[in-house]
Structure 1
Amino acid sequence: MKRIFLTLLTSLSFVYIYAQSPRSFNSRLESVTVYSIGAELNHKAKISLPAGTSEIILNDMANNIDESSIQVGVPSSVTILSTSFSRDFLRNENKSPAYIKVEDSLQIIKRELNKVQNKRVVEENLLVLLDKNQAIGGVNTGVNVAELIKIADYYKNKQLELRNNIFSLKEAEDVQQKRIARMQQQLQELSLDKTGTTGQIVLQVMATEPSNADFNISYLSPNAAWLAFYDLRAENTSSPLKIVYKANVTQSTGLDWKKVKLSLSTGNPSQNGTAPLLSAWFLQFGEPAYAYQQQKQMYQNRIQSMETRAPMDKKDLEEQPIINALQGQVAGVQVQAPVSVQQNENMLNASFDIEIPYDIASNSKPHSVTLKEFSQPANFKYYSVPKIEADAFLMAEITNYDKLNLLPGEANIIFENSYVGKSFINPNATTDTLNLSMGRDKKITIKREKVAEQTGIKFIGNSKKQTFTYEIRLRNGKKEAVNLLLKDQYPVSTDKDMEVELLAADGAVINKETGVLTWKLSLKAGATETIRISYAIKYPKDKNIVNL
């Protein structure tokens, strides 16, 4: 009876320990939804559960998780009591490929250093032995002169050989030691990179009965993002504009996404979704807030610098001097995905489902994927401000662009099957028309020159009158007619002693407030046209205008 009781007690203790000890399970990444900032990762795991309470460790999770976003789907017989997250720094497979490569090279160099050190020790011992034999031979034995000369030559040559070998081996040791120090420093730097470190989700669960349960785990990780970029293609100015919608996806979650179902969403789950409220604004006297004014000015400067990158809308085309083409390539792995991507829309954002399983390494490098292609009707026209740039810029004007769900991003421009440069798409314009820059067209020649005989200074009493005349010559070298929006300007006075008179504008639309002159021209194939502008400034002769 006593033996039965002890056996039962032992069994119960084993069951208790088995139930209380945390058990580890690997998970499989099934799908990922990437947002503009962050990503939702969805895993599956097969878990064997005993009846009662258990602690479960789920491996192969992202290295950075928003714990409040963790959701676990389990059968009805299982209850989740608690969830927590931790990083797993101990698993050897978490070492990055770069770390492993340097670590292996370090071991090889250390072995080579050991061989060099062994050779040096042997040479130094031989030198000690040689010195001892030299002393014994010289003190305890008598030798004649001829033998003494032979012995002296032998010792001299042998010592010289050994000392030179020792010197060379010490030099080799110094080189290896420096290499080892550099590699150890590199390993230390690589060890700070935790992109190869995965995470763990620890669950406290309670099961009503033993079972093999399927767990579905989802969570948000901030270490992923995607940016939109585009290819703008046009065969000629009479064909529709093809817009190829692409994405650069980056991630450093610590997990290599292998054969996962990928979706890209225009939403941002990390953004605060609470609507703002206004409270009463009470004024009070005080000292001027100099720091606030500085910050306000910095903010305004930043906004202005951002606005210069955006494409022009209709108002911009009337007032802005020129489009600045953006330079530089987008680095990264270029991967072509199916173009017929399913696009889903709801009231807040749009998402794109990639049809094929996708691979994206956890290395923070951009991976390119094509999302969708549009063939959009466009009105093509040319735009030029020869005072600043003696080139004509092709503009594509499109309407009803809201349905395209475009995001701000760079665009590669391919016109007439040739790459012509970069532009920037800003769909956040407030107008119903979006103007896209298609780059420069060198077949339209534009030259602006000062007409010397009609430019000069005249003195009238206490005043001087300065006259400027410019001639703009245009030539359409294309095989078809083009519409060209041409702009120039004359100065605007800011002082009552300064009088500005526009003498000639050749039929331009004049904006007297800004001094901008606009011509809407239609140039036939091979045609040339000349436009003249002339203006005069009268001001006191004892003054100078610094920016004239």
Structure 2
Amino acid sequence: MKNFILISLFISTLGYGQNIFTTGKVKAATVYFNVAEISQEAGVSLSSGTTEVVIDNVANSIYEETVQISAPPYVTVVSVQYTTDYGKEYNKETPEIRRISDSIILVKKQIEKLNLEKNSYVKTIELLDKNKATYDKMDGGESKIDVNALIKLVEYYNSKRLEINDKIFTIDKQKEKLSDLLGELDKKSKINPDKNENKKSTGKLIIQLLSTQEVKTTLKIKYLTNNASWYPIYDLRASDTSKPIDLYYKAMISQNTGIDWNGVKLTLSSGIPNQNNQAPILKTWRLDYINNRYANSVHSGFSKSISRESRSASQSMSSIQSISADYEEANFEQKTVDAVINENQLSISFEVDALYTILSNGKQHSVVLTETKIPAFYKHYSVPKLDMDSYLIAEIKEYSKYNFLTGEANIIFDGVYVGKTIIDPNQTSEILNLSMGKDKRVSIKREKVSELSTTKFLSSYKEQIFTYDITIRNNKKEEIDLQLKDQYPVSSHKEITVELLQSDKASNNEELGVLTWTLKLKPNETKKIRVSYKVKYPKDKQINL
């Protein structure tokens, strides 16, 4: 038992050797859209002179050129290296492997010592057996032997042989246990602790330090890693068109750096670090001939695509999604923290006051940054040529002061989840339009008037007249403002002519072919608008009407 106590004590107290091994603790993280700057601290005890410090618990993927080490004035950082496989890349054993290797040597020596001890006892038994055989032979002959002496000899032989056999038995048991221990140590020596399935994959920093004195100090470490990100998301809550919008500004954060962020100071930034900061330079633009098989083709008519203005509106409206059946209001009940917002020339940052824990599992963590009320003017918007529904739009003035970033927004109107929209502040207009969803209480219908839509053939030309009636009814209990848009084609060739015949006092953007009406509809009021235009083009051609 003494042997095992000594071995266990040796394994538990075995030193780490000349290198100093320590663990980096995450203190803060600044998360950008695609990377994060991690701040860590590691305590070390340095001797006077040069010391190699190995810092564990570093992110599993970093930008090595961004590593910064802060040390006291009397400590000089000579070199910094990063690795994810310290033992293999630097031909050095980790402290755990070194302890195991030294323990294997100790156990083997102990087994060898027991073998020698057992062999000595075996030789003693052989000697006793040989002497007993000699006395037995003398007892059978003519020689006269003292009986009392013979009795004492037999008693001594029996007791001594039994004692030695007990010692050999004890030695065999000790060897058996030591052999089992040796087998376990041998298995452990073949396993890299850094690649253990139950342990996250992390990196290490190998730092050469030169200290002018023996001291205990703390190293501060900063670096960029690409395995963390965040993006903004919003909740827009409105109970009535006469009241402001409640805006919940949230951040969705995820990280898979291999190290957990436990109780860290979080800062979220819209900046883009580690980017190419070289300003572009224009070079001479030289024209030359190209072989383009479409260059001489005849344009077939107007484009089927809607105008740029209507397309933009369509894209904005199409971002609205249908109501999710499994949506729960509880999804939006989250703890709000007061984030300090800092705005500079190139980015916006949010400093979160509370300490947060973000595990390294790649899952999204939601943090509510701010909550504010935003004054809004509400109007309805519709493009019935593309969509017969009417959309409720909230107009936000001076929206730059809210520090919006492009992101998805959940719409909750009058306590009901309506769907999603997109907040995009990257525009030049003075008003930000937020789509609050479809309003089914405003009915819109666009129909072709057959009797006023005709086709004629005139000499070498074909003439067509198109007439549409748009009917709008307000089924709400309050008056609404409605912006209505429609479209007529714009010619791309001089052989094709377009004439707007009727637009019912619409604002006409002739370049885009977009008609806009600003209407007020009282409760239960119905209005009808007529649009008519004539298209004339060569009858031997086909156009995309």
The reply to whether TM is greater than 0.5 is yes
Q: One-letter code of the match for 1:38?
A: V
**Is the partner of 1:390 in helix, strand or coil?**
strand
Residues 26 and 60 in structure 1, CA contact (< 8 A), matched pair in contact too = yes
Give the 5 Å matches for 1:148-167.
Answer: none
1:537/1:277 CA distance change after superposition, 3 Å: closer
Q: One-letter code of the match for 2:74?
A: S
CA distance in 1, matches of 2:17, 2:40: 25
TM-score normalised per structure 2? 0.68
**Is the partner of 1:391 in helix, strand or coil?**
strand
Q: One-letter code of the match for 2:232?
A: A
**Is the partner of 1:506 in helix, strand or coil?**
coil
Aligned length: 407
**Partner residue in 1 for 2:363:** 365
1:82 and 2:82 correspond: no
**Partner residue in 2 for 1:130:** none
**Partner residue in 1 for 2:60:** 63
| 1:352 aligns with one of 347, 350, 353 | 350
How far did residue 356 of structure 1 move?
2.2
**Partner residue in 1 for 2:532:** 534
**Is the partner of 2:387 in helix, strand or coil?**
coil
CA distance in 2, matches of 1:193, 1:383: 57
Give the 5 Å matches for 1:259-274.
Answer: 259-274=263-278
1:324 and 2:318 correspond: yes
CA distance in 2, matches of 1:326, 1:192: 47
**Is the partner of 1:402 in helix, strand or coil?**
helix
**Partner residue in 1 for 2:281:** 278
**Partner residue in 2 for 1:240:** 244
Residues 61 and 227 in structure 2, CA contact (< 8 A), matched pair in contact too = yes
Larger Rg: 2
Q: One-letter code of the match for 1:240?
A: P
CA distance in 2, matches of 1:475, 1:535: 24
1:97-124 CA-partner distances (Å, limit 9, x unpaired) = xxxxxxxxxxxxxxxxxxxxxxxxxxxx
Residues 234 and 416 in structure 1, CA contact (< 8 A), matched pair in contact too = yes
Residues 337 and 354 in structure 1, CA contact (< 8 A), matched pair in contact too = no
CA distance in 2, matches of 1:319, 1:39: 34
How far did residue 406 of structure 1 move?
1.6
1:467-524 CA-partner distances (Å, limit 9, x unpaired) = 2221111111112111111011222333444443322211111222322111110111
1:35 and 2:38 correspond: no
1:224 and 2:228 correspond: yes
Q: One-letter code of the match for 2:209?
A: V
Q: One-letter code of the match for 1:203?
A: I
| 1:48 aligns with one of 42, 45, 48 | 45
Give the 5 Å matches for 1:370-389.
Answer: 370-389=368-387
1:384/1:326 CA distance change after superposition, 3 Å: closer
Residues 360 and 367 in structure 1, CA contact (< 8 A), matched pair in contact too = yes
Give the 5 Å matches for 1:136-147.
Answer: none
**Partner residue in 1 for 2:520:** 522
Residues 31 and 230 in structure 2, CA contact (< 8 A), matched pair in contact too = yes
1:255/1:470 CA distance change after superposition, 3 Å: same
Give the 5 Å matches for 1:289-328.
Answer: 316=309, 320=313, 323-327=317-321
| 1:427 aligns with one of 417, 425, 428 | 425
CA distance in 2, matches of 1:194, 1:469: 72
1:440-461 CA-partner distances (Å, limit 9, x unpaired) = 1111110111222222334455
1:193/1:69 CA distance change after superposition, 3 Å: farther
How far did residue 346 of structure 1 move?
3.2
Q: One-letter code of the match for 2:371?
A: E
Give the 5 Å matches for 1:125-140.
Answer: none
Identity of aligned residues (%): 42
The answer for unaligned runs of 5 or more in structure 1 is: 1-17, 92-190, 294-304
How far did residue 193 of structure 1 move?
11
Residues 20 and 44 in structure 2, CA contact (< 8 A), matched pair in contact too = no
Give the 5 Å matches for 1:410-449.
Answer: 410-449=408-447
CA distance in 1, matches of 2:451, 2:544: 22
**Is the partner of 2:319 in helix, strand or coil?**
coil
**Is the partner of 2:354 in helix, strand or coil?**
coil
CA distance in 1, matches of 2:291, 2:458: 50
Residues 224 and 250 in structure 1, CA contact (< 8 A), matched pair in contact too = yes
**Partner residue in 1 for 2:499:** 501
How far did residue 78 of structure 1 move?
2.0
Q: One-letter code of the match for 2:257?
A: T
How far did residue 318 of structure 1 move?
10
TM-score normalised per structure 1? 0.67
1:80-109 CA-partner distances (Å, limit 9, x unpaired) = 221111114889xxxxxxxxxxxxxxxxxx
1:358/1:547 CA distance change after superposition, 3 Å: same
How far did residue 528 of structure 1 move?
1.0
1:502/1:277 CA distance change after superposition, 3 Å: closer
1:20-77 CA-partner distances (Å, limit 9, x unpaired) = 8212112211111111221111112221112221111111111112222222222233
**Is the partner of 2:401 in helix, strand or coil?**
helix
1:343 and 2:341 correspond: yes
How far did residue 399 of structure 1 move?
1.9
Residues 503 and 536 in structure 1, CA contact (< 8 A), matched pair in contact too = yes
CA distance in 1, matches of 2:509, 2:361: 54
Residues 252 and 366 in structure 2, CA contact (< 8 A), matched pair in contact too = yes
Q: One-letter code of the match for 1:278?
A: I
**Partner residue in 2 for 1:478:** 476
Residues 334 and 367 in structure 1, CA contact (< 8 A), matched pair in contact too = no
**Partner residue in 2 for 1:512:** 510
CA distance in 2, matches of 1:273, 1:464: 58
How far did residue 350 of structure 1 move?
2.2
Residues 318 and 518 in structure 1, CA contact (< 8 A), matched pair in contact too = no
**Is the partner of 2:371 in helix, strand or coil?**
strand
**Is the partner of 2:273 in helix, strand or coil?**
coil
| 1:72 aligns with one of 69, 74, 88 | 69
1:463/1:67 CA distance change after superposition, 3 Å: closer
**Is the partner of 2:451 in helix, strand or coil?**
helix
Residues 319 and 516 in structure 1, CA contact (< 8 A), matched pair in contact too = no
**Is the partner of 2:318 in helix, strand or coil?**
coil
1:418-440 CA-partner distances (Å, limit 9, x unpaired) = 22111111111122222222221
